Structures are given as C-alpha cells and as structure tokens.
Structure 1
Amino acid sequence: MQEYADPVIDWLDGGRGYFAKKLYRESCALQPNGSYTKDLSLVEEDLSRVCFMDNSPVSYNWNKANALPIEGWTSDPNDEALLDALPILDSLRFTSDVRKVLGIRGF
C-alpha cells in the first residue's frame, strides 16, 4: 500500500533516483482467489535488474526468482527487517543478474 511503501522507498532512495518506478496495489493483477500479483516487467523489461521485496508470497508468484521476502511491518519501533536486508540489497549493485544473488538464499 502506497502510504506504507512511499516513506520507506523514499528513505532508501534518498533523492538519488535508484527507483525507476513504484508499483502499488493498483498496479497488480487481481487473481480469482482475491489475491494480488505483481508483474515485475512493468518496472523493467530486463528482470535481471529487478529485486522485489514483499511480505506476501502470493504477490510475487509470477517472478519468484526476483523476490526478497520480508516480514510484514506493523508499526513496531523495534522492527529491523529492512535493516537486516540492506547487505543483500547492497550486494545486488555488483551483479549482472540479481536473481543469481537472490537464488543463493534459496527463495
């Protein structure tokens, strides 16, 4: 949801323009079971350059190789899931295909 994602994405980006696009629920495909699936090709045609973080495995069902699962955030001031993911996110800068790095973790 945009109200949760925007502050985090904006903080990570810090005005540097790392993120070409932001997708929200409106950008998802509604499945017959009521879940939402994200099509990462809307962000970048070359999926070797796309990492996707979400707390819902259903949302990245089409692009599992690009997924970096993260725990859901519910206003917990002690939540460090995003901080824990920073070394992985940083390592993606040095690879030609993010899926190779993400695959090491077995997601």
Structure 2
Amino acid sequence: MELTAENYYDNATSFDYMSTSLYKDFRKCEAFALAKLNGEYMPVMDPTALLVGNYVHSYFESEASHSAFIEKNKDAMMTKSGALRAPYKVGDNMIKCLEADQVFNNLYSVGEKEVIV
C-alpha cells in the first residue's frame, strides 16, 4: 500500500505503516490498540488539537494547501458569525512565532515541505 494524503489517517493504513501514536498505544495496552485498529473501539476524541496542528502545517506547506485546509475545515474553525475560533487564533500566533524564528527558518528553508515519509 502506498501512503498518500488521502489514506494517511485511515485505520487500514496502520496495518502497513505503524505510526508513533499506534506504537505508543501498543506499549500501553495491546488489546486497546488492536481494538482501535480493528474498528471495534473508537475512543471519543476532540479533534481540535490535530486540526490546529494541521492548520499550522498547511500554512508552511503552501498557500494553496492552507486555503484548501481552511475550506475543508471551515465549519470546525469558524464561529457562526464567521470569526476564527480561539484555538485557530492560537495557531495564527504559532505561525507568527515560527515565521519570526531565524533558526526555524534556516532549518525549514531547505528540502521538500510536508512530505509523507
């Protein structure tokens, strides 16, 4: 199976590629990790932290990627009045900090951005 942006978060992909999160789940409790993998148990999770992280990542990937991410997730990101929700404002602050950080910019300026490895 080839790992792609479309299947990156799928449970089926985890059978071929073990993520750090899955490895940590197995270290904690093998039965729990296997139940998650098989779709027998799905813990209730708030996806906000993951979405904010992806919001920041998409910004540095490309303008097109960031715009596509916002369009795809605007219901989760925006209030009814169209304002950005607080966690994403924190994401904007993260972006500003990273843009101003010379070490980050020196390290991040080389190589391909946001590639699946």
Q: TM-score range by the shorter chain?
A: under 0.3
TM-score when normalising by structure 2: 0.24
TM-score when normalising by structure 1: 0.26
Higher strand share: 1
Give the greater-gyration-radius structure (CA).
2
